[in-house]
Structure 1
Amino acid sequence: MGVGPAIEYVKIPPLSFRLPTADEVNADVALLDRVIARDPNALGELYDKHSRLLFGLILRILRNRDESEEVLQEVFVQTWTRASTYNSALGSPAGWLVRIARNRAIDRLRANTARFRTSEALSAPAKTPGPQASLGEQRLDIQRALDALPPEQRDLIEHAYFLGFSHSELADRFSLPLGTVKTRIRTGLRAVRVHLEGRMSVQ
């Protein structure tokens, strides 16, 4: 039975993400405007300001330092080529970069899992899968479960567990009562658990 794609395990500190101030948001918007004008120094300044946070997020998803560094570079290539798509109505530039990093990391994880499945099928077509999914498949199962949640639950869970927001910070950020935040997170996590238990029962 295959053991899945090689994964380098590292100790990852808790990911901390504080809400940017209005001045910080304005400064980042100005940097994006300079990127749109093709100022490479502006891209370097964005990298210096945000790469540590983005790398931590990517590493949490991929669990592989080399691949995380590659994906981080892809994030800033996309920033360079698509800075004009930033929409301030959807959040801060930092939040926009976080979404790009998360999507890039998930795409890489899916591609790795697909390549592994293809390689395993070609090298050992007669073997049947073992009872346990690879770690990559488990993370994809979790992501599928999150994607199936209503946005109001998924957004809160992702901010709490991927970006390190406290429940009180989420209540302020989303303009919700604290009790509503806790209820939505609890309900969403229960749905994720049911999804994962259902997947395990059919393996």
Structure 2
Amino acid sequence: MTTPGWWPRRSRRVRGEDLVRSLYNEHGASLLAYATRLTNDRAAAEDIVQETLLRAWKHSDALTAEKGSVRGWLLTVARNIVTDRARARAVRPPEVAEVTESPSVERDHADQVVDSMAMLGALDNLSPEHREVLVEIYYKGRTVTEAAQVLGIAAGTVKSRSYYALRALRAVMSGGKTGTEVPR
């Protein structure tokens, strides 16, 4: 609460750190509540209170009792700081998050050829049943139902063979054994 004649004479004014301390002790809670209400952000409100007290320290001449309420002056300064920050945010372009992943590198055609050759070699190590299911589904792009019709087997069998064929293919590609031990 502001007492009348808080600084009745210039010679008795509080200076420096004592000024900021006394203003904070007397008006800090109400300033923080006001700034929090304006910003809906406690951390931003604390920054605003700090900036308000800094401006009070810089412009201590304006805090004379003759000019009105010290609390009113502080609340006006706080409101102006909030307004200035909102305007600055509206004008400033949005910040772009840092890119954490490296830019993608396009694969060379030679890499695709090498991969295709490795895949064909791995497919040769699979059983004929597994190989034909993978060729129908992944190379010819057929659905499970279409592959089942072409191969003359049930759709469930296509799904099962596809599952075990992929497991066997993964084992072959990673340098493991051939897919002959995997059930058909």
Range into which the TM-score falls when normalised by the shorter chain: 0.3 to 0.5
Question: TM-score if structure 1 supplies the norm length?
Answer: 0.41
Which one has more relative contact order, counting CA pairs under 8 Å at least 6 apart? 1
